[in-house]
Amino acid sequence: MISFWFRGMIRDKARFLFPFTVVTIGVALVVCLVGFMEGVFMGMIDMTANLDSGHLRLVNQSFYDEEHLRPLDRSLANQRETRDWLVKHSDPEVDWAPRIRWGAILDVPDEKSETRSQTPVVGMAMDLKSPDSEEIQRLRLKSSLVQGTLPKGSNEMLMGFQLAEVLDVSVGQPITLIGQSFDGGLVADNYQVVGLVRFGITAMDKKMVLIDLASAQSTFYMEDMVTDWLGYFPSGVNFDHYEEVKGSMKVGLANWSPPKDWAKDDSPIILSIRDQQNIGAIMDKFQVIKGFVVGVFTFLMILVLWNAGILSGIHRYGEMGLRLAFGEPHWKLILTLAMEGLWVGILGSLAGSLLGGSFAWYLQEVGLNMGDSFAQSGLMINDIVRARVTVGGFIQGIVPGIFASVAGTLVASMAIFKRSEANLFRELEAG
């Protein structure tokens, strides 16, 4: 009986084809849009974490308050003891990386060793030479090299390729870095550009310079000092876990006896990525926007399926009248219609997931070049934006698709209660 009923539903175009098409298109659009939004947003989060903020961050409060000035005198000393404390009091999965944020002027000499051009730059120092360092892989420096090699010796520098074009700097050319030391004095040190890097972020390609941590400590007189400790979780860890680990570390930080080399007024704080660069507010707005998109498509599907159900029901009034005349109760009749809507929703959602997921997968693997759109934005978003295919994206498409199909059918079937069996049966006789 069920097989007979199911085959009849499939063969009846008014009952199956149009609702199936609506659900398929709606679910495909939701899965694709959610995947694209997730990809763009998570790409921005990953890029921001890898290049700037980390998932967790230990930093001196006074440095954080004046971060735009790069106050190196507010750095944290004693790397070994600090790292030991971080490893002990954080999640075992977290990888802690020391960084130095610095700002300076790059002086490019000509053939006579006189200044040819100068420009202010923002720089980051990290461990680029240790064999067990994850920084090169984290920033994808090997694949991002446009020309040259990675630093292998002291006082070697990686430069954004657009910055190199502006300064007319080539690989192997010496430049002078002029900045402020840890104790406030003026420093000048010679570096050699060994590689040009395409970060994939226009704002960084124009202004960013990377040097090894040991070279920065030597140049700025910061022996055994760093400005930041950035913690990185493995991929796939929920944002809520960041906050849990941060909370437990704050408790440990309150009871921590700082290293003797720290200044008396050093006051370290623990931050998550949500606390930095307004990321938390952006995350909240993203969730609202994503929910709004899913809600709008769900409402539109219900509206269309409601009208489709009414039109289908008009042609089936005779059938309804006959079934009611044989004594079938209203609730059982509506339950049967709801089961039809459920099957249409399931089949349409599966087909829509396959269609939308395929397109989202294509955008995930190939990507979409939006470098021209982001060129003047300054956002930490890769020029090649990609979708992200996730289980959550499919759930957010499938569940509304099934719900919309059932809800649309139920709303349309309410008209049966407004008509008597005699009227429905009379329409059967007239047909």
Query: In the chain, what are the domain boundaries?
Result: 2-47+281-430, 56-232
User: Can you give the pLDDT at residue 101?
Assistant: 92
DSSP state letter for 51: I
User: Can you give the pLDDT at residue 342?
Assistant: 80
Tell me which residue of 411, 429, 408 sits closest to 321, measured CA to CA: 429
CA distances from residue 184 to 65, 70, 74, 346 in whole angstroms, order as listed: 18, 12, 11, 68
* Angle of helix 279-315 versus helix 317-325 axis, rounded to 10: 70
User: Can you give the pLDDT at residue 373?
Assistant: 55
User: Can you give the pLDDT at residue 1?
Assistant: 46
Rounded-to-integer distance, Cα 411 and Cα 404, Å: 10
Rounded-to-integer distance, Cα 19 and Cα 42, Å: 34
Whether 192 contacts 9, CB under 8 Å: no
- Indicate whether this model's pTM tops 0.95: no
Per-residue pLDDT of the chain (431 residues; tens, 9 = 90+): 456 455 655 556 656 677 788 888 888 888 888 888 888 787 778 888 888 888 999 999 989 988 888 889 888 888 888 898 898 888 888 999 999 999 999 999 888 888 888 899 888 999 998 877 888 888 888 888 889 999 988 999 999 988 999 988 999 899 999 999 888 889 999 999 999 998 777 777 888 899 999 999 999 999 889 999 999 988 767 778 888 999 888 888 888 877 777 777 788 899 998 888 788 888 888 888 888 887 887 777 777 766 666 656 556 655 666 666 667 776 777 777 778 778 888 888 899 899 988 988 888 888 777 655 554 544 556 667 778 888 888 888 888 888 877 777 777 666 665 555 555 555 555 54
Tell me which residue of 197, 259, 219, 210 sits closest to 72, measured CA to CA: 219
Tell me which residue of 217, 222, 228, 215 sits closest to 59, measured CA to CA: 228
User: Can you give the pLDDT at residue 377?
Assistant: 46
Rounded-to-integer distance, Cα 234 and Cα 55, Å: 10
Strand partners, 125: 100, 211
Strand partners, 270: 58
User: Can you give the pLDDT at residue 230?
Assistant: 94
Q: Given 3-state DSSP classes, what are the helix, strand and coil percentages for the chain, each rounded to the nearest 5?
A: 55, 20, 25
DSSP-derived 3-state class of residue 342: helix
Tell me which residue of 108, 196, 202, 190 sits closest to 150, measured CA to CA: 196
Q: Which helix (H) or strand (E) holds 175?
A: strand 174-180
Strand partners, 422: none
Rounded-to-integer distance, Cα 276 and Cα 240, Å: 15
Q: Give the helix ranges, DSSP H, for 329-370.
A: 330-365
Q: Give the helix ranges, DSSP H, for 212-257.
A: 213-219, 239-254
Amino acid found at 137: Q
